[in-house]
Amino acid sequence: MNWRARRQMAYLSILLGIIILILLILILPRITRTPTCFDGKQNGLETGVDCGGECVRACPTEVREIAVLWSRAFPVTQGVWNAMAYLENRNVGLTVKSMRYRFRFYDKDNVFISERTGQTFLPPNSRSFIFESSMDMGLRFPYRTVLEISSPSLEWLRLDSKRQDVINQITASDKVLDDSSGLPQLSARINNSSVYDIQNVEVAALIYGSENIVLAASRTILDSLPANGSEPVFFSWPQPLSQQSVQIEILTKIDALSLNL
């Protein structure tokens, strides 16, 4: 091979090397891309497409159905009612950021009266509540109350241990019911043992009679609950209890994903 042929071969080799290098730069990242929880594929440690494993989103196969333990309407004044549903999320460490719901009310003949829709969140592995207030039923009596989860699908998200620990440090104490005037008044204290201030704490109060019957229910919202501190809450009802109270339950509801930690 003469000198001219060797030079041409060298040029071709350089050109071919450049082409191969460019192809590697374009193609190699595609075939060696690190799996993520947002690439529309089941890869890495995922147990489904972009869910399970190390992903924040849980797969549908991991989730247990929400249990609606009861839903009821409670009279406030003539024609005006509140409604409450008592729920249980049996999924450890899994929360729902946004859940649409619908209360539907029926009379004793199962004739539809009205409905109320709303949106809420669902705390992880706990009993919780949905509360709607000041619904005008006119002269009709809501004999049956039904809660429907109206979201077509729910996005279940895995809660990190730090947020779960903060929620676990919210407790209720000093529950005192006074119905000496004939109209029940309830006071309690909500305690925050964590080192973080918490905003928008929903608090529900339930008064039970014999045979675990709920005699009255109400809700309030604490705008702020200071770190290592507590705040009082107060509830009152404009009607006397239908029987002697046996037990008081205070529930708190916090959107853990919105905590500023």
Cβ(57)–Cβ(155) under 8 Å? Answer: yes
34, two tokens? 């690190």
Q: Rounded CA gap, 58 and 50, in Å?
A: 9
CB contact at 8 A, 191 and 239: no
Predicted TM-score (pTM) of this structure: 0.82
Task: Please report the pLDDT score of residue 3 as a whole number.
Answer: 59
Q: Which two tokens stand for residue 185?
A: 């008044």
87's CB contacts (< 8 A; 6+ apart) are: 66, 67, 68, 69, 122, 127, 128, 129, 130
**Which three-class secondary structure state does DSSP give residue 159?**
coil
Asked if 142 and 73 touch (Cβ cutoff 8 Å), the reply is yes
CA distance 22 to 194: 55
Q: How far is residue 43's CA from residue 45's CA, in Å, rounded to a whole number?
A: 6
Query: E strands within 20-92?
Result: 67-77, 80-89
**pLDDT tens, the chain, 261 aa long:** 555 656 666 666 776 777 777 766 666 555 555 556 766 676 665 567 778 877 888 888 889 999 999 999 999 999 999 999 999 999 999 999 999 999 999 999 999 999 999 999 999 989 999 999 999 999 999 999 999 999 888 999 999 989 999 999 999 999 999 988 889 999 999 999 999 999 999 999 999 999 889 999 999 999 999 999 999 999 999 999 989 989 999 999 999 999 988
Bridge partners (DSSP) listed for residue 206: 217, 249
Is the Cβ–Cβ distance between 174 and 154 less than 8 Å? no
